[in-house]
Structure 1
Amino acid sequence: MNTDLLTLMQWMSPAFPVGGYAYSHGLEQAIDDGAITDADTLFDWLVTVLEHGTGMVDATLLCLALKGEDMADTARALASSKERYQEAEAQGQAFTSAVNGIYGEQTPPAPLPVAVGIAARRLDLIAPQVAAHYLHAFASNLVSAAVRFVPLGQTDGQRVLKRLHGVIEGVAARASQATLDDLGSAALGSDMASMRHETMEVRIFKT
C-alpha cells in the first residue's frame, strides 16, 4: 500500500476539517427550483457540473498547481459568483491550515483545488490520480447534500456516485493534460443556480 495514497485519502475524507458538508454548490437552489427531483436528474446535473463546469475547471487548476504553476489568482478570477468564490476560498483556507498544522509549515492559503495541488506536490502520485480523488470528494459532497435535501435515499445516493466513477476518471485524465488555455466553463444552469442561491430566503447550505 502506498502511504502517499493514504495521505491523499485522508485529505479528501469527510473527516478532514474543510467544512465541505456546509456547501451545496448551488444544488440547494436547483432542488428548490424542481430541476433535481430524483437520482436520475441528480446524476444528469452532476455529469454536467463535472464535465463542463466546476469539476473540469477545478481539476485543471489542481493539475496545473501540482506541476508548479501559480494558479491561486486565476482560480479566484474564475469564480462565477460571490458564493462560488467564498466556497472555494473558505475551504481552501481550512485545508491549508490543516495541512500546515500537520507538517509544521506556513504555506499561504489558496482556493481549494489550488491548495490541494500545492500540497500534493509532496506526494509520489500521478496527476490523474490526485485529480480523480479530488473530484470524487467533490461529487460525494454534492450527493450527500442531495440525500439530505431532495430528499434522496442513501442507497440511491450511492448508486449515483457509483455511476459517476467513469465520468470522474475521464475528467481527471483530461484535466491532467489540459493547459491554461483550456480553462473554461459551460455549466450555465449550475452557475445561475449559484447566483440565485445568494438571495434564497430560507436555506440550509452556505452555497
Structure 2
Amino acid sequence: MSRALLSLVQWLSPAFPTGAFAYSHGLEWAISEGEVSNAASAERWIGDILRFGAGRTDAILLAHALKGHDLDDLADLARALAPSAERLRETEEQGAAFAATTSALTGRNLPPRPLPVAVGQAAAPLGLAVPEVLALTLHAFAANLVSAAVRFVPLGQTEGQAILAALHPLVEEIAREAAVAPLDAIGSAALRGDLAAMRHETQEVRIFKT
C-alpha cells in the first residue's frame, strides 16, 4: 500500500477531527418519525442518499477538484447545491475542519471550503486514481451515516457493518460514474432526504447537529 493511500485513509477515518460523528444528514429526523426503524430501512435510506443525493453530487464535485477545476468556483457551486441551512452548515463546518487539520499535517495553506472541495484540494497532490479517492470518500460518508443509525435506531454493531458491506457495490458504481461525469450532470432527487434535513432544523429533541 502506498504512503499516499495511507494518508487518504487517515484523512477519511473516524479519528480525523472533522466532527463527522455529530452530523446525521437529516437521518435523525427520519428515525424519530419512524421512517427508518430497522436495518433494511436504514440501508434503503442511506443508499438513496448515496445514489440520488449528496453522495453522487459531492463525488462529482470531488472529482473535478481532483482534476484541477477552479476550486473557488466549485466551492460556490457546492454551497449553492446545499438544500437547507443545516446541510450548508454540515459541509462548510466539516470542510473547514478538514482543511485546517490537513494544512497542519502537510504544511500547505489550504483555505476552508465545503467538504468535497476541501478533500479534493488536499488529495490532488497525492496522485491517486480519481475513482479510488471517490470510492473511499463515499465509503466514509456512508460509514458515518451507518454509525448514526447504529446509535439512534438503534442497531447492533454487526447489523451496521452488514449495511455498510451491502452498500459497497453501490459505492463502487457511483465512484466510477462520478469520476467521468461533467459538472452539468450534477442533480439531486433525494427529496425526502432534503425535507428531512429541513425538518431537523426545528426538531425540538435531537442529539445530532444535522
Asked if these proteins are the same fold (TM beyond 0.5), I'd say: yes
Aligned to 1:119: 122
Output the amino acid matched with 2:184.
D
Aligned to 1:88: 91
2:119 match: secondary structure: helix
Aligned to 1:104: 107
Which of 174, 177, 182 is the aligned partner of 1:174? 177
Structure 1 CA distance for aligned equivalents of residues 77 and 59 of structure 2: 13
CA RMSD of aligned residues (A): 0.6
Deviations 1:50-109 (A, max 9, x none): 011000001000001111112111101100100000000000000000011111222211
Structure 2 CA distance for aligned equivalents of residues 13 and 46 of structure 1: 19
Aligned to 2:2: 2
Provide the identity percentage.
Answer: 57
Q: What is the CA-CA distance between 1:12 and the residue it aligns to?
A: 0.5
Q: What is the CA-CA distance between 1:150 and the residue it aligns to?
A: 0.3
Please give the TM-score of this superposition, normalised by the length of structure 2.
Answer: 0.97
Structure 1 CA distance for aligned equivalents of residues 142 and 107 of structure 2: 30
Q: Which runs of 5+ in 1 are unaligned?
A: none
Aligned to 1:160: 163
Output the amino acid matched with 1:78.
L
Structure 1 CA distance for aligned equivalents of residues 144 and 65 of structure 2: 23
Structure 2 CA distance for aligned equivalents of residues 103 and 32 of structure 1: 41
Runs of 4+ in 1 over 3 A off after TM superposition: none
Deviations 1:159-207 (A, max 9, x none): 0000000000000111101111101100000000000000000100000
Structure 2 CA distance for aligned equivalents of residues 107 and 96 of structure 1: 6
Structure 1 CA distance for aligned equivalents of residues 19 and 33 of structure 2: 25
Aligned to 2:25: 25
Aligned to 2:204: 201
Output the amino acid matched with 1:31.
I
Q: Which runs of 5+ in 2 are unaligned?
A: none
Please give the TM-score of this superposition, normalised by the length of structure 1.
Answer: 0.99
Residue 191 of structure 1 pairs with residue 188 of structure 2: no
Structure 2 CA distance for aligned equivalents of residues 179 and 69 of structure 1: 11
Structure 2 CA distance for aligned equivalents of residues 75 and 185 of structure 1: 12
Output the amino acid matched with 1:195.
M
1:155 match: secondary structure: helix
Count of aligned pairs between the two proteins: 207
